[in-house]
Structure formats: structure tokens, C-alpha cells
Amino acid sequence: MEVPFARPRFRGDEGEAVSATIASGWVSQGPRVREFEQAFAERVGAPEAVATTNCTTALQLALYATGVGPGDEVIVPSLSFIATANAVWQCGATPVFADVDPRTYNLDPVAAERAVTSRTKAIMPVHQLGLPADMDRFFEVAARHGLALVEDAACAIGATYRSRPIGSLGPLACFSFHPRKVITTGEGGMIAVHDPDVAERLRRLRQHAMDVSDLARHSANDIVVESYPERGWNARMTDMQAALGLCQLELLDEVRADRRRLAERYTAALGQISALEPPYEPDYAERTWQSYAVKLRRGVPVTRTELQRRLLRDGIATRRGVTAIHAERAYSDRGFLLPHTDACARDAMLLPLFPDLSDEQQDYVIERLATHLSAAVAA
């Protein structure tokens, strides 16, 4: 049996929606992007949303609009995809890594506060694998030290924190529509924004800081000459992506429900395998189950990589757990001591989880895991 690691759900009418967009003549950023922004903002409970090329550019623009620049520091978890740190670097600032809570894999507010210096400009918690960070505590830390707060919500569309949607907490939360996320536009990102002036500036910055949009220029009845009051980037989403995104938004509740059902099946079954530690579920949040992470308990006589290799021979695709950025060569020159991050990065493994994973496929994954771990313990 072949079991892929991830696969987005499509319902079949996406091609028609994209074709209609192409027929309209708008293939770059235009009316469909604005429609997608409005629908997304309403969905996550934010006054505004600003679409971008991907979540990395969303994070970079959000940090930049917050005032992050050369000489500043931004506190981030090392246990994250490398884009979290890269977005800080792209602003000319320095990412400062703090340790995580080993149960949730999310940035530890206490460790983050210990990392604050006179150069700290912002804190960027990550809602890792779709599980919201403990945001009340981060708001308290930010308020005590006069810091900005930007949420890396790449995996968290549809998640809630104390019954509030991620995106509604403010001031800035950045989402991803990569195919491995809960919904997809192929590539794409979105910033949930609570200040209309910031939203307007972000829309300029994503389009070379041009002071008038393409949509406004093309719909004008007279000659419009744009100007560039500051420097910006090209981070525009296309109308074709937005058309797909609108279709995907309609599937969000269905996809979340299927992911949760599958995650609960994993947890019930894997709880019987003593060598594995299932994910921790805090009572303050509802996650998206963007990924399902298990942790190999210490002392198990098989490495994670070897277990992955055996599963791959069975036709089952897995991934290592979340990256420890400070251990990657690009960021390994500053000697951070992050024991919880190191342990999570070493011992965690992501299992196949996507809305169309069949019960038969999932049972096969569970059976092969149990077989390989039993054999390793018995050897």
C-alpha cells in the first residue's frame, strides 16, 4: 500500500473558477484578490486582510511595517521552519532564538522574556503544526517591555485560542496557503490586520510601494500616474490563486473536521504503543491538525531516521519533526543552548495526515509502526 505524506483536498470546481478568472483578463493581482482578502478577513475575525505571494513575504512585510530593521532583534523559536528566521533576516534584523515548551512545541513565554534585550523590537510566536501558542502570556510580555507582536500563523487557519479564531487577536497574524497547509492556493500568504492604516501601507509595500493599485488604475476614467513614496517589494498574489483560495475557504470546516477525526484515530491507537508519545492537547486551544507529530520515547532502540526508512520501504511517507533552525548551518554560528528544542527536533516524527487519508491507509500506518517498534524492542 502507498500512503503519501500529505495531499490537499479539491472538490472539482476549482478549474472552472480559475478558468473564469483567466477569461476575465485579470491574471495578476486584481478583483479576485480583493474578494479573497475580504472573505478571509471575515473568516478569521479580522477587520482587514492583505494577500501576499507566500507566508514568508507576509512575515517580512508585517515585521517591516512594525518598524523592525537593521540593529533590531526579534525573538523567535528555533523549532520552526527556517522561514521564521529568514523573515527577520530579510528585514536586516537579527533572529534571537528562545526555547520551546516541550509539550506543545511552541515558543515558551518565559524563555522568550529571558531573551529580551535593549535591542529587542518584537516577539514572533509560531502556532506550530497548527496548535496556537499561549497568546495571553505573550501579550503580557510584549506589554511589559514595549514590544511589537507578530504571529507566525502559517499552519493555523481555522485554529482557535480560548474560543477566538487565530487572526482575531491582533495586531498582525501571517498565514500560509502552501499545499501542505490546511487549505491551499499552491503558493500564497495572507496577513490578518487590525489597523486599517497598516493594512493600506502593507498593500502598497507588496506592490513596490506604489501609491495606487493596478485595480484602481485600470478602472479609472482618466490618466493615473503612480508614484513611489517609499521602497517596497513585489509580493503580489495573482487573481488565479485567489480564485482557488475562495474555493478552498468554502472547504475549510469540512477539511478541519476530517483532520480532527483522523488525528483522534491516531491518538487512540498510538496511545497503546509504549515507545511513542502522542501529541499533547492543551485546554486553551483548538488546533488545525496541520500535521500529526509523535515523539519517540528515550531509550527506544531504533532511531527516528531508521524508523522512517523502514516505513518508507513499506510505502509510507513520513517527515522528520520540526527543524531546529539554530542547528542549521545558516544560523549555527551563535551557540544557542536550547535543550527542549534539540530534544523535540531529534525525537519527533510527522505521520501522514490529510483529509482524504482513508481509514485503511491509516490503519496500515499504525500497524507498521507497531510492528517495527515491537521488533526493535525485541531485538
DSSP bridge pairs for 320: 349
Domain ranges of the chain: 14-249, 252-378
295 is catalytic: no
- pTM score over 0.75: yes
Using CA atoms, how far residue 34 sits from 227, 245, 259, 307, 319, in Å, is 21, 12, 29, 46, 35
What does pLDDT average to in each consecutive run of 10 residues of the chain (379 residues)? 96 95 93 97 98 98 98 98 98 98 97 98 98 98 98 98 97 97 97 97 95 74 82 96 98 98 97 93 96 94 94 97 95 90 96 98 97 82
- Domain at 14-249: CATH code: 3.40.640.10
pLDDT at residue number 310: 97
Looking at the chain, the number of H-run helices and the number of E-run strands are 12, 14
Q: What does the pLDDT look like over 30-78, one tens digit per residue?
A: 999 999 999 999 999 999 999 999 999 999 999 999 999 999 999 999 9
- Domain at 252-378: CATH code: 3.90.1150.10
Name the average pLDDT for the chain. 95
pLDDT at residue number 379: 62
**Which DSSP string corresponds to 270-326?**
HTT-TTEEPPP--TTEE---SSEEEEEPTT-SS-HHHHHHHHHHTTB--EE-S-BGG
Tell me how crowded residue 221 is: count the other CB atoms within 10 A of its CB: 5
**DSSP character for 371?**
H
Residue 26 CB partners (closer than 8 Å, separation 6+):
32, 239
C-alpha dihedral sign at 244, 26, 209, 330: positive
Cell numbers placing 122: 518584537
How many Å apart are CA 193 and CA 175, to the nearest integer?
12
How many Å apart are CA 299 and CA 296, to the nearest integer?
9
From 43, 181, 259, 372, active-site residue:
181
76: left (phi over 0), alpha (psi -120 to 50) or beta: beta
How many Å apart are CA 269 and CA 288, to the nearest integer?
20
Q: What does the pLDDT look like over 219-232, one tens digit per residue?
A: 777 777 788 999 99
Parallel, antiparallel or unpaired: strands 120-123 and 148-152: parallel
